[in-house]
Structure 1
Amino acid sequence: MTHLFSPISLRQLQLKNRIVVAPMCQYSAENGQATSWHQIHLGHLALSGASLLFIEATAVEERGRISAGDLGLYSDATEKALADVLSAVRRHSSMPFAIQLAHAGRKASTRVPWEGGHSVPVNEGGWIGSAPSALPFADGGEAPEALDKAGLRRVRAAFVATAKRAARLGIDAFELHAAHGYLLHQFLSPLSNRREDEYGGSLENRMRFPLEVFEAIRAALPDQPFGVRVSATDWVDGGWDVDQTVAFAQALKQRGCDFIDVSSGGLSSLQKIAVGPGYQVPFASRIRNETGIPTIAVGLITEPEQAEGILASGEADMVALARGMLYDPRWPWHAAAKLGAQVDAPPQYLRSQPREHKHLFKKE
């Protein structure tokens, strides 16, 4: 059996292979509510043959959205809309769903990417973001609100409330978004966290609020598979780095974290990223080897043989694809064909397998 198509367990969740569909923002919600686009998007990815499908970064409060088109799960209306989408997809796929619990922090209130992605000021319908410190993401941008103690309590409670809503929807696994320059990453990095209270300064202090949020969600969902997305480095001198990420992962492990999803960057426009195939895999490898916690590797993993090699060498426990899965929504099928494995397929598609791969499909 190949490593890529071997099973893995996250607590009670049994996954059939090591291929994960990464969370991908679609910027297509209406007032935070999932739409028919989400049904199409999640529906076709749920037929991909991967073992776990992440819903996109899902805002825990309205002001925590990156854009006005972001998906949310912070009200009865947003919960019902997502429930309707999931119900439709589940009629035709047994693939487990995971959710990424997110808050944009100072990166909130932007245009959608195809409209430039620029910040939307309040006088043009935007809103003020929340952050550890009143430092704008970009020069000339509006400064976010620095969260006081009441604000910290509000945000922490919002994360817990969204996690509980997701649990009611039957979500199978949960991920806390502490990467890509969003709110919890902003607390971790000394570039964005200039607080002088117990939530700023030392590494222990900068980790305090993200760990409090994790602990609160874990207390609410003690038995669910629950991990964290991290940016292993800011790619900026003097910023968040791999050494600090390892320390953070160790602290999360002590609190019952089940996996670390390892990305990088997103906090500063000054970042200098050395992009190449699998360029973030060494971060996942180091975290896995130094902490013993399972990791998900991401970032320019495009070829089945590449993914197989990452797992076979012990650099990570799973691989997640995002853009590659959009470009080729049947990537797991093609990977299984190349590696001589089998993959689930819906009965309506069973006759599509090529003659030379007549044993490729397993009926769901």
Structure 2
Amino acid sequence: MTTIGVEEEYLLLDPATGLPVPLGDKVRATAGLGNLVADREVQCELLQAQIEAATPVCGTLDEVGGHLLRLRHALAAAAETHGCRIAPCATPPLRRPDPVAVTDQARYRAMLAQAPQLVAEHLVNGMHVHVGVPGRESGVHVLNRIRVWLPTLTALSANSPLWDGQDTGFASWRTVVFSRWPVSGPPPRFAGVADHERRVRHLLDAGLISDTGQVYWQARLSERYPTVEVRCCDVQLGVDDAVMLAGLVRGLVETALAEAAHGVPVPECAQELLQASMWHAARHGLGGTLVAPAGGQRPAGEVVDALLRHVAPALEASGDDRTVTALLRRLRRHGTGAERQRAALGEGGIAAVTGLILSRSTMP
């Protein structure tokens, strides 16, 4: 069984107004004073109205869920001491007219100088899943094989329909906001690890990115860990949905490793088709059609079923099949985060959306 770890990004909101508040440093410091959180598990993000939690390396989905609940509870308690709440939504329902302060780190200051408007609007929160791989060559094989499924994961995870108090018409507006950075979207297909390293080196040498952390492909090789990092998912309202997505991602990686070992051909998908498929998934979520990996639009439910069949042997081998299947069934019954936010908006406006988001922050 391969190892797995999850990073989640949250907003810090004023519970009375629903507006983001720049208290990241204070919340992180307070969370670190307790005995439930290790220093490395909580980090400030680009903007001071965001904070990130990262699980330790896990072997099971039960561990992932337990650590996410622990970290959410610890951060929620720390936030409350400063009069704010953690909000597991991928975009804020409302924004302040003035930009949120940037976290005072050299890298973030450089990003602000490089792209001030993009940074000002970067109030977007994702869920990143790290899955262990034997090495970078294996990692490239995985990237080549899972890239066709990234739009389906984006649709399943969609949790950012609102921006500036309005329905954007997109299920994942975060995906659109993030796509404006120079190196973003689905990764290209690589000829091998040497090709991957050459492409990244060209970006660095050309001065188009300042470090490898700015390779914002929606699936990439981690530079810090021996993992593939899948970054296309919105942060989830509840922990159970995050666990389900983590299980699917691990299933995809394990399936890709097995296919590479048995010489199964890499799925063909032109980069322009994949990028358009990602836009389509961000636009519609599970509410319409998705582009199937084989090409052509199909009802979203059919594509999700195909994903589940694709990873079924890996899920069974890891013992994740019952958990993932049950949680996926529940998500399809109750709706994605985007669908639930829209329902709340229709029933009670922005206040109801904020109430929904804050009420889910420490729930399974």
TM-score (norm 2): 0.28
Looking at both structures, which has the greater relative contact order when contacts are Cα pairs under 8 Å and sequence separation is at least 6? 2
Higher percent of residues as helix: 2
TM-score (norm 1): 0.28
